[in-house]
Every structure is written in structure tokens, then in C-alpha cells.
Structure 1
Amino acid sequence: MESSSRFRGIPDIIYGTAFKFDDTAALVAVALKAGFRAIDTAANKPQYQEALVGEGIAAALESGVMQRSELFIQTKFSPAKAGRDPAIYPYDTTKSIPEQVEESLSSSLTRLGVTYIDGLVLHSLYPNIEDTLTAWRAMESFVPSKVSYLGLSNVDVDSLRQVYDAATVKPSSIQNRFTQDTVPNPDADLPPGLPYPDVAYDRDVREYCKTTNITYVPWGVLWSNPAILDDDPEQLLARTAQKIGVSKQALYYSCLRNLGGCQVSILCGTTKEATMQEVLAGLDKLQRYLLESEENKKIWQVCVDHVRSIANGM
């Protein structure tokens, strides 16, 4: 397909398919019917079921929910980890990194049932920057023929800077965990092995994204952030959301998209159809609400400032 007929840019909200397992196809179809026009997945199992994502997309396309050009599909090349079962990767782990990237992308295209990918993300860094850059250059070779945009995930600001400086095709997006917990101070109640930012709420990475015009895609924005969502004794977000007539989650997402600085695209992974509809309808309603009066803007801005004060350390 010609690049001129593809989806342009990175959508404001993306449906995440991690840990949906056997329900993946049905949930993707439901999400697309509800109005999502961007899907995030990855090639490695068992966290992701890329073939089932493809089934859900095919069902939506066949039923006329949308056309392929109206849909942003993002998947990931996942570097093989020491000690992991090679069978979880869609490539021969004994081959060179460029060959692994090529096999992974080919598998993704087949599983997803498409001829091109809108976004291809390097799922994690290699232990050394040389291998990371080798993988990135291999990914670059498929732009624009089979891939429109490239991105990085679970990356620290120093590594991001090195990739950006060396890249011919610059990163368009960064998908990182958004949390107050950090590498020096992880949450002891969560499973080991989760990625953490070096700085609370990934402030350093977000600042770099601002200076380089990279879209920041936070993940874990609900369960990783009780300080913003649930620890406010005045329940500002809950009270304001009720007043406006939207869900607290929709208002929170609206605030995150307006943290200031870099463009933010929200990753939403709910398994509930009602929540999908509430979030999308709520975001639409908030846009209309802000156009109605200056007073409405002031009410909303109080919530934005509250979230900014925590996330930006103001």
C-alpha cells in the first residue's frame, strides 16, 4: 500500500492488548467497534497474542467498522532475553540481530493480516548500545516500505539520546512506564522484573521528548499511579468528573494529555466494553465542554494543574 493512504501521525489514545490472552481477538473487535482507532501489540508470547489481535482486526474490517487506512497498528520487536524460552520469540534466536528483526516483522505482518505496520517499536534495550543500534538500523531498513514510524520502549534518557543521535529514521514515540516509583526505589509489593524510570514519572525522558518532538506513550497509568488517582483526600478528579458528567478515568486521561511539553498519547488496556465507551465518550465530551465557556476551562485547568503538580514535581 502506498504510504500516502496510511494513517498519519500517532493517535491520542491507543488500545493495549497485553495480557488479554484467549480473549484478545474478541476484545480487539469490541475496542474497535467502541471507537478505538489504534491498537498496540507485540510479537512475543505469552504476554501478547499477535495472531489473535489480527483476528480481531480482521473481524472489524470485514464488518465495516473502519478501513485499514483509518487504523493505526503498532507492534514490537522484542530482543531475546537470556534464560527465556526461545519459543516465545517469532524468530530464530541464533541468527544475527538484523535477521531476527526481519523474521519478527515478517511474522507480525502475517499474524496481523496486513501488508504494513504503522508503528514498529523496539520493545527493550540490549545490554549494550551497539546491539541496540544494530537492531534500530535493521528496523530503519523497513521504513517506509513496510513500516511508517519507529519507536522505543522501556528506555532511559541516556540510551534514548544515543539512539536518536545515531538514527537516520528518528524515533517517533517512546512507550515507557509512568510511575512515581523509580529504579532506586521500586515498589516492593509489585512483581520483580518490572521496568522503572530513573526519575519519578519519567520526567527526564518526557523532557527529552519535548525537545525532539517525540510522542510520549505512558503505560501503567492507572495501576501505577495511586498518588494521582486515589491518594487525594479532596478527591478532586472524582468530584470534577462527576460535575462534568464523565468518568474519572476519562478526566485523568485528558489531564495526562495536557501535562505540558511533549505530545502524550494514552495507552488504555481495559477489558470492559462499558469502560471503553465511557473513556472515548468522556474524552469527546470534555473537548466539547472546554469549548462551551471560559469557566469550564478554568474548572478543567484546576485538574490539569493538580496532575501536573505531581507528575512534573512542581
Structure 2
Amino acid sequence: MANKRRLGRFSINPIGLGCMSLSQAYGPQPDEAASERLLHRALDLGCDFLDTAAIYGEGHNETLVGRTLKARRSEFTLASKCGFRVTADNPRVVDGSPAAIAETLDASLRRLGLDHIDLYYLHRPDPRTPIEESVGALARAVEAGKIGAIGLSEVSADQLRRAHAAHPITALQTEYSLWTRNPEIAVLDVCRELGVTFVAFSPVARGFLAGAFETPRMLGRDDIRFAMPRFQGDDVVRNQALYGPYKAIAEEIGCTPAQLALAWLLHRDPALVTIPGTHQIAHLEENMAANEVSLSPDHMAALDTLVNQETVSGGRYNAAQQATVTTEQFA
């Protein structure tokens, strides 16, 4: 069993489970029964940190997690998120207003079949609502016993400081992997300073570091990578050239490429936790076994030299997606 890491008052396996892909994002929605089996298998393997959100599958994901694991609620720490509002013409309007947060939280609790969520994130910072007001609404939810702790997602270091001054922040979630180093600009340092747990999502680079693009492939419009520059045109061709040498390092160590990506993160920062997502049990089992992979300083140096913000081609988000986040960017 992996050494546990701290998430506020919780002690959790450093490899959790991002549940989004059980409802949306990477092609057709998986079979419901298969998703239920995967969730149970995750707990059986010692995965005790599950991450969902109100917006995933427009509520489907929370309903799935709540229904499937109701009888095993004591076995895991649960995180969900607010901060998006669905309208008639836009399913993802950023809204961090106190009224929207309160409404979304109550709906999340109903779907989950719970009266309390362990960790509740603001999914995106709202440019129309000061971060202090959004956090104030979440603080009132803590006082009411509806949530145990407050998290933030995709915010800047300055916003984290301001939020933490308004109410203690337990976790900050942002994409982090060998090929997305943005948190290294400022956010990771501020998390360490304030005692905030950093939660890395998309740790295997949305499948790229697991071999999903080892050979060319076409993406459908129901796959969120369809709109991401790194997976398109000349950018994906240049990035594919990195994969062969990367895979060779994994073979030298004796692990899979996905395990190598996760092990790099766990060695990079002894306090962070990560939430790889999958809808396949074989991949889940592979990911959880990454806890056992040991990397030498030479391996870490080789990986850092091979895959980094200067060798990866293309932005992680397109212009519309990037406009919803404030995490610092490399020039």
C-alpha cells in the first residue's frame, strides 16, 4: 500500500481517481455497468480519493458516483465542484456568484444522495465575481455543514493568496504533468507556503504519455482533445516524436509509460496528489501500481530534459478554453 499523503484533515492514497471520463470528454459515454464495476474496483485497490463535478455529464457523474458507492461511503474522500451554470444556449457558463454556488451545491448533494461533501472546489474563477465573494459563499457552506473543506481549480497564485486570506483553502487543482509545467511558475510555491495540497489532474497528458497517440489517430468531436492544439496538425506530429524516447525510458525502468508519468509527479513533489482518469479497469490497475515505481535522480533528469514546456508543441487549451482559467502561462 502506498504511503498516504495529506489533504487537509484527510489522509489519502497519492493516486486518486478523476471520474469525469465515466460521463463525458473522451468519446462516447462508457457503459453504465462497466463504470460501476470500475468505481468498485478503485476502492478495492485502495484508491480512496474520488473527484467529480456538477458539470460532468451535466450531473450524470455525481449521480453515478453517489448511487454506485452509497454503501461504501466511509471508504473514500469525495471531492466535487461548482462554478459553472447551464443555460439554454451554453452548457458551460462560468458563474462563481454566491447564489449560483449555493444552488449548485444543493443540486450536487441531491444527486450524490448526501448531506455533506468532503472537499468542494470552485471549478473556475469567475471574472465577474471577486474570488473573495466566491470563497465567502463556500465558507458559509462549511459553516452549514454541507462541505468539509474548500478547493480551487485553475486559479492564479495571486487568487490563491486572496482566497486563502478570506478562508483557509485545503486544495488547489490544476493540470500538471511532464508536458504541462505551468504550476511550476508560481502556484506550486504558494501551495507549499500556505500549506495547500496541490492536486494534479491530467497527469498522463490526456492519454498522450500513456501511448494513446503513439500512432496517428483521428479524434471525434465528442472528444475534448479535438479542440486542443497539442493534439492537432503539426503540433501533434512534433509531439509524437517525443514519445519513442520517452517510452524507451519506461522500458529501461521496467514500468509502463503511464506509470512513468505518474511516478515522475510523485517524485517531483512529495506532498502533491494526483487524479488520473480512466474508464477501463486495466488502466485503473496500471495507474494504481505506479505507487511502486522508483525513479533515480538520473531518470528524473532525463525525463525533465526530454519532455518540458520548451519541447512540447502547442498550447494545452484553445483560446476559448484558455479564457476560463487564470493559471500562469509560460511565454
Q: Which residue matches 2:191?
A: 209
**Equivalent-residue separation in structure 1 for 2:22 and 2:75 (angstroms):** 23
Contact 1:14–1:38 (CA under 8 A) maintained in structure 2: yes
1:41 to 52, 57, 61: 52
Partner AA of 1:304 in structure 2: M
Q: SS of the counterpart of 1:75?
A: strand
Contact 1:216–1:264 (CA under 8 A) maintained in structure 2: yes
Partner AA of 1:303 in structure 2: H
Determine what percentage of the aligned residue pairs are the same residue: 20
2:298 to 287, 296, 302: 302
Q: Which residue matches 1:120?
A: 120
Shift of residue 51, structure 1, vs aligned partner:
3.9
2:252 is the counterpart of 1:248:
no
- How has the CA–CA distance of structure 1 residues 125 and 172 changed in structure 2, closer, same or farther, with 3 Å as cutoff? same
- How has the CA–CA distance of structure 1 residues 52 and 175 changed in structure 2, closer, same or farther, with 3 Å as cutoff? closer
1:23 to 17, 24, 30: 30
Partner AA of 2:74 in structure 1: S
**Equivalent-residue separation in structure 2 for 1:54 and 1:39 (angstroms):** 13
**Equivalent-residue separation in structure 2 for 1:255 and 1:268 (angstroms):** 13
2:140 is the counterpart of 1:141:
yes
Contact 1:17–1:48 (CA under 8 A) maintained in structure 2: no
**Equivalent-residue separation in structure 2 for 1:24 and 1:136 (angstroms):** 36
Contact 2:177–2:265 (CA under 8 A) maintained in structure 1: no
Shift of residue 161, structure 1, vs aligned partner:
1.9
Superposed, 1:192-207 pairs within 5 Å as 200-207=182-189
**Equivalent-residue separation in structure 1 for 2:156 and 2:54 (angstroms):** 22
Contact 2:36–2:68 (CA under 8 A) maintained in structure 1: no
Partner AA of 1:207 in structure 2: D
- How has the CA–CA distance of structure 1 residues 157 and 282 changed in structure 2, closer, same or farther, with 3 Å as cutoff? closer
Partner AA of 2:250 in structure 1: A
Structure 1, unpaired ranges of 5+: 1-5, 182-196, 291-298
Superposed, 1:172-187 pairs within 5 Å as 172-178=170-176
Identify which of structures 1 and 2 has the higher relative contact order when contacts are C-alpha pairs closer than 8 Å and 6+ apart. Answer: 2
**Greater Cα offset, 24-33 or 103-112:** 24-33
Shift of residue 180, structure 1, vs aligned partner:
7.6
Contact 1:76–1:123 (CA under 8 A) maintained in structure 2: yes
**Equivalent-residue separation in structure 1 for 2:149 and 2:65 (angstroms):** 22
Partner AA of 2:75 in structure 1: E
**Equivalent-residue separation in structure 2 for 1:12 and 1:228 (angstroms):** 29
Contact 2:101–2:137 (CA under 8 A) maintained in structure 1: yes
Contact 1:179–1:201 (CA under 8 A) maintained in structure 2: no
Q: SS of the counterpart of 1:104?
A: helix
Q: Which residue matches 2:108?
A: 108
**Equivalent-residue separation in structure 2 for 1:150 and 1:24 (angstroms):** 32
1:162-218 deviation line (CA, Å, top 9, x unaligned): 2222x22x111111122688xxxxxxxxxxxxxxx8x74543111111111211112
**Equivalent-residue separation in structure 2 for 1:228 and 1:134 (angstroms):** 43
Shift of residue 117, structure 1, vs aligned partner:
0.4
1:85-105 deviation line (CA, Å, top 9, x unaligned): 478489xx8xx9323222211
- How has the CA–CA distance of structure 1 residues 7 and 89 changed in structure 2, closer, same or farther, with 3 Å as cutoff? farther
Contact 1:19–1:48 (CA under 8 A) maintained in structure 2: no
Shift of residue 10, structure 1, vs aligned partner:
5.1
Q: Which residue matches 1:158?
A: 158
Partner AA of 1:147 in structure 2: I
Q: What's the C-alpha RMSD, in Å, of the aligned pairs?
A: 3.6
- How has the CA–CA distance of structure 1 residues 108 and 229 changed in structure 2, closer, same or farther, with 3 Å as cutoff? farther
